[in-house]
Structure 1
Amino acid sequence: MKNFETVKAWEEKVIIPTYEVSEAEKYPIFLEKRVYQGSSGAVYPHPVIEKISDEKIDKEWDVIFLENQYLKIMVLPALGGRIQMAYDKVKERHFVYYNEVIKPALVGLTGPWISGGIEFNWPQHHRPSTYDPVDATIEENQDGSVTVWVSELERMFRTKGMAGFTLHPDKAYLEIKGKLYNRTPHPQTFLWWANPAVAVNDHYQSVFPEDVNAVFDHGKRDVSRFPIATGTYYKMDYSAGVDISRYKNIPVPTSYMAVNSDFDFVGGYENDTQAGLLHIADHHVSPGKKQWTWGNGDFGQAWDRNLTDRNGPYIELMCGVYTDNQPDFSWIQPYEERNFTQYFMPYQQVGVVKNATKDAMVNVTLQDGKCKVVVYATGNFANSSVILTADGKKVLDENFDFSPANVFSQTIELGSLPEGSQLEVLDEKGHSLVTWQQKSDELKPVPEAAKSVKDPEDILTNEELYLTGLHIEKLFQYAIRSDTIPHWSRYLRDL
């Protein structure tokens, strides 16, 4: 592994096998009646592309690389500023799905869309400009970190969005700073979902926090227990009890979004390679935790062939800010600026994470009288402490030199982990890297799916009436602007 004492960033031309798209339609296409991802498919003033070549060529692309001791990132400004590649140098693996060919299909809001990497969806999903070029620049910071900024002034509502991709010296995580600006004198709506893809097989499982006992469909129209589904979801009978955190068990195209969680992470894990991807963000700002799959069946395999030549199936682990469901928009007021931070990182050996911060993550399991503790850190933390307390007594107290290449794992004899048992991981100065506490294993009730909005005369308070109207206006603002109110009122009844 090449030793990078500092973070480096550079521009480079690379050859990527590419299926070209046609020229955009010359005249605007008004799609007022089209539904897309639960909201209007109107795209004006964006042009629409309706054809993709069946022939592959070797095409030269301008990319930006960002690299430190642990990670190598490739940014593709020509296609929406997406992260095209994210490589873990410790495990020598792509921790984000790397599609080695650019093979679009006509599933995007304006036509072409590609799988793989990390796509940033705003102000609507999928991003209207996902196949358009954006501005990009490299910024060297005083602390030795380097940031690649991508930005655009989007066409539909004239808001501006920026994403800053930062690597820090000796840190095995990618920091993403989002900056959104409303440059207009009018309130606008937006959503932001970072959309990382991950490669999957029969050994893959999604990793949601342990307080997530249920997941919702789009618009919360349907709900399922999680991880063990016990009813019907997406018309599939899971009544026998099926673990839908496992990719192999989901045969049809399926979305699910977590109920409210008090944890800051979501991710996925490859049980065969003992490695995974984790997303970290303040759950008060970024409550959205979602998985989408084409399904592990004939339909999904057909879409694998549509979107890649040889890189196989993937799922999306989407991470939303200011919302926990799709479609659901947030307001940005005139001249307002929104700022938020997200972290993406590879990890290894931990399995299904119990808790995580940007510095470290932990798993604690108890089986057959043996307690296994695994801790992974994203940086170098020498002389740290791993302390497990049960029934008010320390049952584990070890010093350890953490690094992304050096994972703590220890098994001890322990009969039980009673409620209140606690694990602390402290650096040498006593600062907390991550903590975990055993909670009650009592199952929470599964929330109900969304119901139709009441008629105004049936709403008892002015506050509820106002909030209901505000939500409708926010959710269907595209419909309001594109004069599709009758269509959306019917859809609203279905919610």
Structure 2
Amino acid sequence: MTTSIRAETLSLPTSRLGQPSNVPRFRWQQPIPDTETPPNFGLSAEESNHGFNWGKDSILPYQVSDDYDRDLRPGSLDVIVIENARLRAVIAPTLGGRLLELKDLSTGRDLVFRNPVLQPANLAALNAWFSGGIEWNGLIPGHTPFTCAPVFAGVRETPRGPILRLYEFDRIVEATWQIDLFLPNDSAVLFSHGRIVNPSDTARLAYWWTNIAVPMAPGTRVLSPADYSIEHIWPGNNLGRCAFPRDDWDASYPQNWENATSVFFRAQSAPRLFIASVDHDGYGLAQCSTSEMPGRKFFYFGDGEGGQNWMDYLSRPGEGDYLEIQSGMTPTQNQRFELAAHEERDWTEAFMPLQLDARAHDPAYHTATDHAANAIDAAVPADTFADVDAFLREQARLPLGVRHSTGAHWGWRQERLTGAPLAAGLDFSVETAGDYWDDLANGTPIAPSNLMDIPTGIAVSPLWMNRIKAGAPTWVGELMLATAALDRNERELAHQHLAQSLALKPSWAGYRLEALLADNPTDKASSYLRAWNASGAPPELAIEIAQFFGAASLSAELKAFVDALPVEIRSKERIILARAVVAANDGNYDELERLLFDRPFATIREGETLLSDLWIRLRRGRVEAQIKREASAEELKADLKANPVPRALNLRMHEIEET
């Protein structure tokens, strides 16, 4: 059977995913604290090169997606299917090009974890993320900013069969990425060719990891060549070199890990790098790649209650068990790689079903990995892989014949801003929005109608700021210059541009920046309230204000603010949580308990402990109300043991201390 690529509609229970927020989120507003880059323990120069620490980077100009719920309803999704007689792959171009399903047609089994629902949760750099399938993570650290966004997709016909191309323009690195998916006729191997193009005259630091969600069950083992591993088990959760798989216990079985864990495999002398996940019978999925991808890793939420809850939370109870096997352009995920000026970087990956015999679970780890290596070599011989890689490198620079979906306007705008195409073979043309950003990109005067309100979208790069400065001053332009300056922590310059913007036209966004620039809580509160009372203030601004009052321990102000909000705003999830904090501060434990179980919470951050912390405060209040004095640590520990954090509130990444 020859390979076909076709459009289909997939029926899938779906929760609501609203529009991205138009409120810029700055680096200090990220959920991961901005801390100093930690030391590492025993890592080589290669394993430390271009290292970074999570929480230090801005996500601007990207917009956070935090307006979603957990109310599943019947839904449909436009997908593209690649199929031959042996494999079926289902791709969602409106969700970052995620490969949702990869089915081995000879067995009828799913090679990747196929999530039965589409239900976002707060795990990505831009908040909303969902589990399952294969995701293409670049060019900034973390889950791709296109996780819940459309990307460009189309088909190129070739003498060897059709290729499905996924691509977009990254606005932080200001480079393009693409994935070309190729399933040869009658083959059980799906090839993925990646290409990153830096069109700039300057070098850039970029990031890429391919994350493969695979089914997890008792007895699942991860196999990848390893002389040793790098893990987050050292003081301060820092990376360090470890023996693998251990002398006293076998770390290659994810179920042996209680807490969430990441294991990076290191085998610099291996003739071919690969990673595979196989079940207790030796069946599963294997991935290998060309030498450009030295990184291999597995991630598991852990066998503890919090991690198990997370997997159900991302899916349906009892249906969410999965782990991730990953492949990256660097040895660890705490690193970037350098793209020279005008450099193009290519790599090829292969995904295939794997059936091993009893040696898959040999107690000698290297015996098991050697067995897997031989099976992968038989499925994809080195000369075959080299031939497909060369073919795909040539095809990657040639245009598509048919385009199935379009991504954002920003690639098209960048080409007009610079006057040059971004990458050969990639078509970023879209129907113009005719808005403020299009006027700027085209170098034309800003239409008066485009200065009536705050435009949709954000820009902070020097290219855009220089174009703004080249034109006549406007309140929108000065607001964007202030935003970009604050993102660079140039506070005095941000003050200057903000003052000009507010003088030309007061706006909620301007007063909000004024609050962020204020030096003391009183001035911040005053500016925030001006922003909230200004025309057009969005609901997410109320959430930010409530979080400010809470973080500043202004309990009375927090209570007054949330009590005065309109009903539709008071029902927002983060406002409900702010009301729960007020109830805890006031000692109103009946109200606190009611609010904790008022609804299923959708936006709790990975590793965030607010829900379980509030439960512990509730239990302390109940105990002390009963004994009519301050409870001792022993009494609180005993009560928490008798009244553990309810499953719905336990989304920690590590097990709870009972003190």
- TM-score bracket for this pair, using the shorter chain length: 0.5 to 0.7
Per the normalisation by structure 2, the TM-score is: 0.51
Q: By percentage of residues, which structure has more strand?
A: 1
Distance change in 2, residues 1:305/1:378 (3 Å)? same
Paired position in structure 2 for 1:43: 59
1:352-371 pair list within 5 angstroms: none
Paired position in structure 2 for 1:28: 24
**Letter matched to residue 26 of structure 2:** F
1:433-444 pair list within 5 angstroms: none
* Structure 2: 5+ residue stretches without partners: 34-52, 362-367, 385-484, 491-659
Answering whether residue 230 of structure 2 is matched by residue 215 of structure 1, we say yes
Report the Cα offset of residue 82 of structure 1: 1.2
- Aligned 8 A contact 1:350 1:374 in 2: no
Distance 1:217 1:147 in 2: 38
Answering whether residue 13 of structure 2 is matched by residue 17 of structure 1, we say yes
Q: Identity of counterpart residues, as a percentage?
A: 24
Q: Secondary structure at the match of 2:7?
A: strand
- Aligned 8 A contact 2:209 2:326 in 1: yes
Report the Cα offset of residue 252 of structure 1: 0.3
Distance change in 2, residues 1:15/1:123 (3 Å)? same
Paired position in structure 2 for 1:115: 131
**Letter matched to residue 221 of structure 1:** L
- Aligned 8 A contact 1:33 1:41 in 2: no
Paired position in structure 2 for 1:139: 156
Answering whether residue 89 of structure 2 is matched by residue 82 of structure 1, we say no
Report the Cα offset of residue 326 of structure 1: 1.4
1:375-414 pair list within 5 angstroms: 377-378=378-379
Per the normalisation by structure 1, the TM-score is: 0.67
Q: By percentage of residues, which structure has more helix?
A: 2
Paired position in structure 2 for 1:247: 254
Report the Cα offset of residue 186 of structure 1: 2.3
Paired position in structure 1 for 2:243: 225
2:215 counterpart (189, 193, 199): 199
Answering whether residue 282 of structure 2 is matched by residue 274 of structure 1, we say yes
Answering whether residue 349 of structure 2 is matched by residue 342 of structure 1, we say yes
Distance 2:64 2:212 in 1: 25
Distance 1:298 1:69 in 2: 41
Distance 1:297 1:106 in 2: 20
**Letter matched to residue 97 of structure 1:** F
Report the Cα offset of residue 41 of structure 1: 4.6
Paired position in structure 2 for 1:325: 332
Distance change in 2, residues 1:126/1:426 (3 Å)? closer
Distance change in 2, residues 1:140/1:188 (3 Å)? same
- Aligned 8 A contact 1:197 1:314 in 2: yes
After superposition, give the CA deviation of every residue in 1:438-472 in whole Å (9 maximum; x if it has no partner): xxxxxxxxxxxxxxxxxxxxxxxxxxxxxxxxxxx
Report the Cα offset of residue 377 of structure 1: 4.1
**Letter matched to residue 132 of structure 2:** G
Paired position in structure 2 for 1:300: 307
Report the Cα offset of residue 169 of structure 1: 1.2
Answering whether residue 184 of structure 2 is matched by residue 173 of structure 1, we say no
Distance 1:29 1:325 in 2: 27
Paired position in structure 2 for 1:104: 120
Report the Cα offset of residue 220 of structure 1: 6.6
After superposition, give the CA deviation of every residue in 1:324-365 in whole Å (9 maximum; x if it has no partner): 1112111112222111111111111346679xxxxxx99559
Distance 1:248 1:106 in 2: 24
Q: Secondary structure at the match of 2:65?
A: coil
- Aligned 8 A contact 1:260 1:287 in 2: no
Distance 2:216 2:292 in 1: 28
Report the Cα offset of residue 183 of structure 1: 2.0
Distance 1:375 1:45 in 2: 42
- Aligned 8 A contact 1:72 1:87 in 2: yes
- Aligned 8 A contact 2:112 2:134 in 1: yes
Paired position in structure 2 for 1:127: 144
**Letter matched to residue 212 of structure 1:** D
Distance change in 2, residues 1:151/1:352 (3 Å)? farther
Distance change in 2, residues 1:287/1:351 (3 Å)? farther
Report the Cα offset of residue 248 of structure 1: 1.6
Answering whether residue 273 of structure 2 is matched by residue 265 of structure 1, we say yes
Distance change in 2, residues 1:84/1:243 (3 Å)? same
**Letter matched to residue 319 of structure 1:** S
Distance 1:224 1:88 in 2: 35
Paired position in structure 1 for 2:202: 186
1:389-468 pair list within 5 angstroms: none
Answering whether residue 331 of structure 2 is matched by residue 313 of structure 1, we say no
* Structure 1: 5+ residue stretches without partners: 231-240, 355-360, 366-372, 382-424, 428-479, 486-495
